[in-house]
Chains A and B, each alone.
Chain A
Amino acid sequence: MADVLQLLIGGIANGCIYGLVALGFVLIYKASEAVNFAQGDMLMLGAFLGITFINANGADLPFIIGLVAAALVLGAFSYALDRFVLRAIFGQPQFAMVILTIALGFILRFFAGTYFGYDPVSLETPFAGDVWRFAGISIAVVDVIIIFATCALTFSLWLFFGRTRLGMAMQASSQNQMAAYYMGIPVKRVNSIVWGLSGVVSAIAGVLFAAKGAIEPAVGLLFGIKAFAAAVIGGFGSLPGALMGGLLIGVVEQFAARYAPSGSAQIAPYALMLLVLILRPGGLFAQIAQKKV
């Protein structure tokens, strides 16, 4: 029993990071109907920024200040990315954006590798190695922090989209760009803002990820696809759904690694996603209806 609980907590903590990256996807998708295939690489950049700001041989800032600095820098970077690169294909079919972000991911990976090096590095945190024990299970403090941060972030983003004027404007501009223009929404600027916001979220995810394990430039692609699976399972376009999908994938992966035959742990998340897609094409929190003429 303790064994199962232990796996469950580890899975939830991993799942939270998948969920955070998936949140980044969903944010952009909700506001601009674009799918950002470079999201995993933004996480990687965020993690490296965090390491630069926080580690002793970097800027040596306190953890919280370093986290905020990384989030601000990556947020500004992705705002600029949208403003100066992605805006050029504004209004083009969705597929163009997919190709463009895949290509951007390659370039980000190249620059990160050249600048930060290809060796895995990890973040030095004040709570590294701290463990709480009770009732036969041990919980790493970093896992607890990840879980709380994720829940808080998801909840505030959900409030932001549902309750604030800017959030509403984002939803409107994704559903019908032209109508949103007519309603007086500066659609292009709204898009850039949401990219910036997504950058902030992926910086936080990246720093938390680096606090848990080592990071290297190549981590982005596969991590991005896994987070993608999380977003799909939850139903693209639903914030709580993205978190749920992330948690599901994290937990399934842990249990498959423990109990299922070897080699199936890597497949499990994708098999789960295919299953969900076939049985419930819109994801668990579906937002897509049959297309009408």
Chain B
Amino acid sequence: MKVHFKASYDDDIRLFEDRARLLKYAVLLGLMCALPFVVSDYLTGEITLVLIWCIAGMGLMILAGHTGQVSLGHAAFLAMGAFSNLWFMEQGIPFLLALPMAAIFTGVVGAIIALPILRLSGIYLAIATIALSIIVEDVAIIAEPYTGGVMGVFAPPIEIFGTMIDRYGTPKLFYFLCLVCTVLVTLAYANLLRSATGRSFLAVRDSEVSARALGVNVTRTKALAFGLSCAVTGLAGGLYAHFVQIVNYESFLILISITMVLQVVIGGLGSIHGAFFGAIVVGLLPQGIAIVRDFLQGTAGIDISAYPGLDTAVFAAIIIVFIVYEPQGLYGFYRKVKAQWELFPLARRDMFKRSKSYLKTERMR
């Protein structure tokens, strides 16, 4: 295992630990850039969707993973971002402006909504956000001038400096658009975490009481985290609208909210990597199940397409396995394997043993 000798305070908050780390990410980025020229256009589309889920997952990760506030209603903000982006574009605002405007709009609305809701904690917050998600579903039908009612809205084509980008016409360009957004959001997120604001998020997550004692304005911090989280989710929503081409109230059902939470949990709460791992699982699971189905039908003659909803059930089963055996998610698993590898053969079996914990009530009676 490599030991980092820290010679200054800057070493603590450096974005990349060392050159090797930087090189690894550069190689990854290079691979991602080369990807659409290697795989088919269909797969490029699927990977684009994974990238959009990555952005949405990072949005939720800011809130759930780093500030410790669980929202089970983030599809509402996905919807807000999508509808506002399309509405801005219909008003003649170019895409390059409309997308950030949609993100800012969603973020501001989120922060305003957050102020009363964030007085709640834990389970109550989760329930309030579920209610929010359901209300937005119905509002999307009622607010017809902006959302097209039951019919929904078509996404107009994207034009950036004279280049037309279309999900079906030019899937490669759309892929690069999403990739650029993902990289920008990731860099911003990583930078946020090493700033004072990001550290105050962590302080609030670990203990509100001690954060307050250290001079963190807890209410302001939570509202800021909620706003930022909503803004990033709104950005993902705007891209998602262009990905699916037509959005209506059915695109953002409560199930999407729940899937988003399951995504960050399966990836690993409290790490940017987790959002990416989770997005890969959520985005590629239907493909994986389709491959297994074809395989089973071809070799064993078993027809599992006779069971509708199997993919959600498999997804749920994976979640259960993770919650029971690996609460740190895929990223936690990755870190364990990595540590075993680096220490080989010196790793001890109970190195990652969880300490016994007991639940204490929040009710004071």
Is A113's CB under 8 angstroms from B323's CB? Answer: no
Q: How far is B97's CA from A202's CA once the two chains are assembled, in angstroms?
A: 52
Contacts of B313 in A (CB 8 A): 106-107, 110-111
Is A267 an interface residue, CB under 8 A from the partner? Answer: yes
Nearest-CB distance from A19 to chain B (Å)? 17
Set of chain A residues within 8 Å of B324, measured between Cβ atoms: 85, 88-89, 100
- C-alpha spacing A178/B359, complex, angstroms: 8
Which B residues, 306 to 337, have Cβ-Cβ distances below 8 Å to chain A? 307-310, 312-313, 315-317, 319-320, 323-324, 327
**Chain A residues near B24 (CB, 8 Å)?**
none
> Who on chain B is nearest to A229 by CB?
B131
How far is A219 from B128 in the complex, measured between Cα atoms in Å? 21
Judge if B21 is at the interface, Cβ distance under 8 Å.
Answer: no
B288 at interface, CB cutoff 8 A: no
A154 sits at the interface (CB 8 A): no
Number of A-B contacts (CB under 8 A): 153
Residue-by-residue, is B102-135 near A (CB-CB < 8 Å gives 1, otherwise 0)?
A: 0000000000000011011111101110111011
Known: A100-B323, A281-B120. A221 touches B254 (CB 8 A): yes
B10 CB within 8 Å of chain A: no
Using CB atoms, name the residue of chain A closest to B142. Answer: A263
From B77-85, B191-199, B257-265, give the one contacting chain A: B257-265
Tell me if B358 counts as interface (CB < 8 A to partner A). yes
A: number of interface residues (CB 8 Å): 59
Does A6 touch B at the CB level, under 8 Å? no
Bound state CA distance, A180 and B359, in angstroms?
Answer: 11
**Least Cβ distance of A189 to chain B in Å?**
16
| Contact residues of B: prevailing secondary structure | helix
Cβ of A247 to closest chain B Cβ, rounded Å: 19
Q: Are the C-beta atoms of B262 and A289 separated by less than 8 Å?
A: no
Whether the pair A113, B309 counts as a contact (CB closer than 8 A) is yes
Chain A residues within 8 Å of B123, by CB? 35, 94, 98, 236
Are B258 and A175 in touch, CB under 8 angstroms? no
Given contacts A110-B312, A221-B254, contact A288 B135 (CB under 8 A): no
Say if the beta carbon of B357 comes within 8 Å of chain A: yes
- A114 at interface by CB-CB < 8 Å: yes
Q: How many residues of B contact A (CB 8 A)?
A: 53
Q: Does B138 contact A (CB under 8 A)?
A: yes
If A229-B131, A273-B127, A277-B120 touch, does A266 touch B138 (CB 8 Å cutoff)? yes
Closest to B356 in A: A91
Please determine whether A274 and B131 come into contact, CB atoms closer than 8 angstroms.
yes
B323 and A89 form a contact (CB under 8 A): yes
Shortest beta-carbon distance, A187 to chain B, in Å?
A: 9
B128, A274: Cβ atoms closer than 8 Å:
yes
The closest CB in chain B to the CB of A29 belongs to: B123
- Beta-carbon contacts under 8 Å, B208-255 to A: 208-209, 254-255
- Please state if A270 and B134 are interface contacts (CB–CB under 8 Å): yes
- Contacts A35-B123, A114-B307 given: A289-B323 contact, CB under 8 Å? no
Decide: B320 and A289 in contact? CB cutoff 8 A.
no
Residues A98 and B126 in contact in the complex (CB < 8 Å), given A33-B361, A109-B309: yes
Residues of B within 8 A of A107 (CB): 313, 316-317, 320
State A178–B122 Cα separation when bound (angstroms): 21
Q: Decide yes or no: A291 and B209 within 8 Å by CB, A263-B142, A273-B131 being known contacts.
A: yes
| A292 contacts chain B at the CB level, 8 A cutoff | yes
Interface string of A103-117 (1 = CB under 8 A from B): 111110111011000
Q: Evaluate contact between A232 and B360: CB separation under 8 angstroms.
A: no
Q: Are A118 and B209 in contact (CB under 8 A)?
A: no
B190 within 8 A of A: no
Say whether A95 faces chain B, with CB atoms less than 8 Å apart.
Answer: yes
**Closest B-chain residue to A97, C-beta based?**
B323
A226 to B254: give the CA distance in the assembly, Å. Answer: 13
Find chain A residues with CB under 8 A from B153 CB. none
- With an 8 A cutoff between CB atoms, is A52 at the interface? no
A residues near B319, Cβ cutoff 8 Å: 99-100, 102-103
A2 contacts the other chain (CB 8 A)? no
Q: Mark A278-292, 1 if CB is under 8 A from B, else 0.
A: 100100000111111
Contact B131 A177 (CB under 8 A): no
Which of A157-178 touch B at CB < 8 Å?
A: 174-178
B275 contacts the other chain (CB 8 A)? no
Give the shortest distance, in Å, between B97 (CB) and chain A (any CB).
33
A271, closest chain B residue (CB): B135
Name 11 A/B residue pairs within 8 A (Cβ), A-sorted: A89-B327, A92-B327, A176-B358, A177-B358, A177-B359, A232-B127, A267-B138, A270-B132, A273-B131, A288-B363, A291-B208
Besides A106-B313, A110-B312, A273-B131, 15 more A-B contacts (Cβ < 8 Å) are: A33-B361, A91-B358, A96-B323, A98-B126, A100-B319, A102-B262, A103-B320, A104-B320, A106-B315, A107-B320, A113-B308, A229-B131, A267-B139, A271-B135, A291-B208
The list of the 10 closest CB pairs from A to B, nearest first, reads A106-B316, A110-B313, A270-B131, A289-B364, A103-B316, A103-B319, A178-B358, A177-B358, A88-B324, A278-B116
Q: Which residues of B pack against A, CB within 8 Å?
A: 70, 116-117, 119-124, 126-128, 130-132, 134-135, 138-139, 141-142, 208-209, 254-255, 258, 261-262, 265, 307-310, 312-313, 315-317, 319-320, 323-324, 327, 356-365
